[in-house]
Structure 1
Amino acid sequence: MSIAVIAIDLHRGHLDPAVATMPLPDAVCTQVINDNEIFFNQCRELKIPIIHLLTQYRSESEILSNPAWQERSKDPNATRKNVGSHNIAGMPGVQVIPELWDERDILVDTKKRYDCFVATDLEFVLKANNITTLWITGVNTNSCCLATSIDASCRDYDVTMVSDCVNTMDGPDYHEMALKVFERAFGKVKHSSQLIQEVKNKLVNK
């Protein structure tokens, strides 16, 4: 099967309120974890691989070399004001949420920018496993998920953003806008249950 789930930044740095440096609201954290856990288990049953992309930095200077992020780190009202202290190696946030990890999964932990293809070996992993179709889940809908999905589309992958398995710290308006932008020009947006059913139907009709 040529499908893989690209699970973006489903880590404690966003989704564990006890340690998160850039947290989503508590209720949203619970929803994101629960919905992804159900979806991942269904994918594993169908032998669809889960590839986790994990943000991890060596230092604050490595983060703030991005001018936009440096500007936001100085704005006390920005949702991303803690970007300079987010997911530096050794921090507790740099861990995939345990409920979402399985030893069969693949981990790419060199992500340093919104686009998961930048300076990681993601494309190598995809090519090595003959993956042509990507299902995008994770955080944040309007930054990492959107940037990665658009880049993947431009690289000629067949890309779907999984609507119930992505969310953002920036609120529901930005979540919905990101899905609309992507669906209009770059790929598909579908609920996880629809994707699973489509695969099951294909298996039955073989």
Structure 2
Amino acid sequence: MTSIHGNVALLIIDAQKGFMPAVFDAKDTVSRIRTLLAAAREAGIPVIQSQEMHRKERVDFGRELDGSEDIHCLEGTSDVEIVEELQPIEGEFSIIKRRYSCFFATDLDLLLRGLNVQTLIVCGFLTDVCVHYTCADAHQHDYYVKLVQDAVSGSSREAHEASLSAIQYLQAESLVYAGEIVEMLKKPANA
């Protein structure tokens, strides 16, 4: 069983309609994220969702388009919408981001400190891009990371596996499975 340090929050990264065609096993990944989300809600832990969103004038992409990515996640398009099965509810938090990491130029760190969170349970899209950069930044900000490896999908299986390995290198006990987290969340806090 996975060990958890301090208070936890569930961070769902970019579970947006526009990313579904870009990743492998999108439907299965969304299903596992939905299971995690239900368990987090039942346990009463904070839920935070990020959305990558760029201005329609395309002034905030920076170097993002230098690689393989094309124009994506423009404000006002359906691509930025959270998939139906994972829609946030009252009392959950949202982070709009212009870059890969949920920490870069957002108030995520401030929110986590306000919630007194020490451990992030991370799932979402894309393993090799936004998930990877967010986990690396979480590590740099001294958070414990529990990356739910069967609740993330990447641009390819090879890129997905490489990112999992890189994150595991940063924090030796960071990779977990959805079933482990669901069981952990069912246990009372003092158990």
Fold conserved between structures, TM > 0.5: yes
Alpha-carbon deviations, 1:122-178, whole Å to 9, x = none?
A: 111111111111011111111111111111111111111111111112x11111111
Alpha-carbon deviations, 1:84-118, whole Å to 9, x = none?
A: 2x111111111111210231321112x01111101
Provide the C-alpha distance between the structure 1 equivalents of 2:52 and 2:138, rounded to a whole number of angstroms.
Answer: 18
% same residue: 25
Which structure is larger by alpha-carbon Rg, 1 or 2? 1
Partner in structure 2 of residue 90 of structure 1: 76
Report which structure shows greater RCO (CA 8 Å, sep ≥6).
Answer: 2
2:94 corresponds to which of 80, 100, 107: 107
1:29 corresponds to which of 26, 31, 41: 26
Partner in structure 2 of residue 184 of structure 1: 169
Partner in structure 2 of residue 128 of structure 1: 114
Aligned alpha-carbon RMSD (Å): 1.7
Distance 1:99 1:184, change over 3 A: same
Partner in structure 2 of residue 143 of structure 1: 129
Provide the C-alpha distance between the structure 2 equivalents of 1:30 and 1:189, rounded to a whole number of angstroms.
Answer: 21
Contact 1:3 1:132 in 2 (8 A): yes
Alpha-carbon deviations, 1:24-65, whole Å to 9, x = none?
A: 24xx221121111111111111112210011111132321x2
Secondary structure, aligned partner of 2:149: strand
Q: CA deviation at 1:185?
A: 2.3
Contact 1:150 1:186 in 2 (8 A): no
Partner in structure 2 of residue 20 of structure 1: none
| Mapped pair 1:62 → 2:60 | yes
Secondary structure, aligned partner of 1:40: helix
Distance 1:204 1:12, change over 3 A: closer
Query: 1:3-18 alignment to 2 at 5 Å?
Result: 3-15=8-20, 17=21
Aligned residues: 183
Q: TM-score, normalised by structure 2?
A: 0.88
Distance 1:115 1:102, change over 3 A: closer
One-letter amino acid of the counterpart of residue 12, structure 1? K
Provide the C-alpha distance between the structure 1 equivalents of 2:153 and 2:93, rounded to a whole number of angstroms.
Answer: 22
2:47 corresponds to which of 45, 50, 53: 50
Secondary structure, aligned partner of 1:117: coil
Distance 1:6 1:204, change over 3 A: closer
Partner in structure 2 of residue 160 of structure 1: 146
Provide the C-alpha distance between the structure 2 equivalents of 1:180 and 1:162, rounded to a whole number of angstroms.
Answer: 13
Q: TM-score, normalised by structure 1?
A: 0.82
Secondary structure, aligned partner of 1:5: strand
Partner in structure 1 of residue 103 of structure 2: 117
